[in-house]
Amino acid sequence: MTSAFSPKKLNALNTRERQQATIAQFNAAMDAQDTATAIDIANYVVSDDDLSNHAFSRGWQLHCLKWLIIHHMNEWRNSEDNSEHEDKSIHALLDGLWKLKWIIGILPQDIGETRQDFDEAIEFMQHVYEDFEFSTAMVDKAQLDIAMLTGDAEAARKHFAQWQAADKDDMNDCEACEQSTLIDYYHFIGDYQRAAELAAPIISGEMTCGEVPHITYPSIINSLIQIGKFSEAQAVLQDAVDLITQSREHFLWLIPQLIQLSIRLENREQAEELLDEFSHDIVEAAQNNHFHYLQYLIAVAPFNEEALEAARSLARDFDERNGNQYYQNQLDLMFVTPVLH
């Protein structure tokens, strides 16, 4: 069956409208048993391109990805051995399993997803990874990522140890991304000195990839602030601003954290310039991502009372789900200036 899906009109919609449209079209395709169209819509939602990275909630992305994995697994199992259809199905299935570790790890960004949803997502990942005899490493890492996003230090320590002890295989991330997660972990548990030490090959450019150093900058810069290396933090922050603003289509979501760090380093002029240039695009891109919107509100809070109240409300929503004060504490930190030398 030929797909009836055409992304051209969807690309012209804003992010909220795009999500609503894809949900409606996917449901219609399922009702009509139009598998070809459902596949195209689901692939559009979980695509690696910039549009999808900014357009859809993590819960909706996971729903589409799980459906794709189950579909391609069934197709592969029912294919004739050594056929073209078998080859196509296994390649599509492995692509889905590769993306699964990323989307599950950032599922807590969606305030609509519960702790039970996280557990069920991990159970699904464990099941399909076991089917293919993959190492547990990426399941452990996904649980580590969830723990850090939910502010759960005890769970983070547990899953970090499991991740480090697990065997590596082809599903592991690249060396630079693995190093980035190490830095994020030590930053999260408050071992800022260790995080700064591990950051050296990333700051120097020895370790890079399509995502690193971009995604590692916030943890690196704040770690340097926490250990009193303010001039180095300023220099790395400027490198981060230069690089990320040049790649705004893919890394727009990181700019609110750079604004927060600019304020922490008493560079309010730079913070205001970034807000003036990027606020509209950040708000538009974050319509379906509550975590990214919270980071934006926290960045704006020192300048705007209404943003402060909105940030308090959303941070409280996250913390009530997560069972701690993690994001409310992050907001409070915006109003505590480190002593710069």
Q: How far is CA 94 from CA 6, 68, 88, in A?
A: 25, 11, 10
Among candidate residues 168, 177, 65, 54, the one with its CA nearest the CA of residue 121: 65
Give the model confidence (pLDDT) of 203-221 as tens digits. 999 999 999 999 999 999 9
Distance CA 330, CA 301 (A): 12
pLDDT of residue 50: 58
Write down the pLDDT at residue 56.
Answer: 94
CA–CA separation, 191 vs 199, rounded Å? 13
User: In sequence order, which residues have a C-beta less than 8 Å from that of residue 10 and are 6 or more positions away?
Assistant: 18, 21, 22, 44
pLDDT attached to residue 55:
80
Q: Report pLDDT for 321.
A: 98
**Quick one: pLDDT at residue 6?**
84
Per-residue model confidence (pLDDT) at position 51:
52
Q: Distance between CA 301 and CA 292 in Å, rounded?
A: 14
User: CA 202 → CA 211, 255, 285, distances in Å?
Assistant: 11, 19, 28
Q: Structure pTM?
A: 0.96
Q: Distance (Å, rounded) from C-alpha 277 to C-alpha 203?
A: 26
Give the residues of the chain that fall short of pLDDT 50.
Answer: 341
pLDDT of residue 52: 56
For 81, counting Cβ atoms within 10 Å of its Cβ (0-12 exposed, 13-18 middle, 19+ buried), the class is exposed
Please check whether residue 42 is in contact with residue 68, taking contact to mean a CB–CB distance below 8 angstroms.
yes
Q: Nearest 5°: phi and psi at 4? A: -100, 5
The DSSP annotation for 197-248 comes to HHHHHHHTTSS--SSTTGGGHHHHHHHHHHTT-HHHHHHHHHHHHHHHHHTH
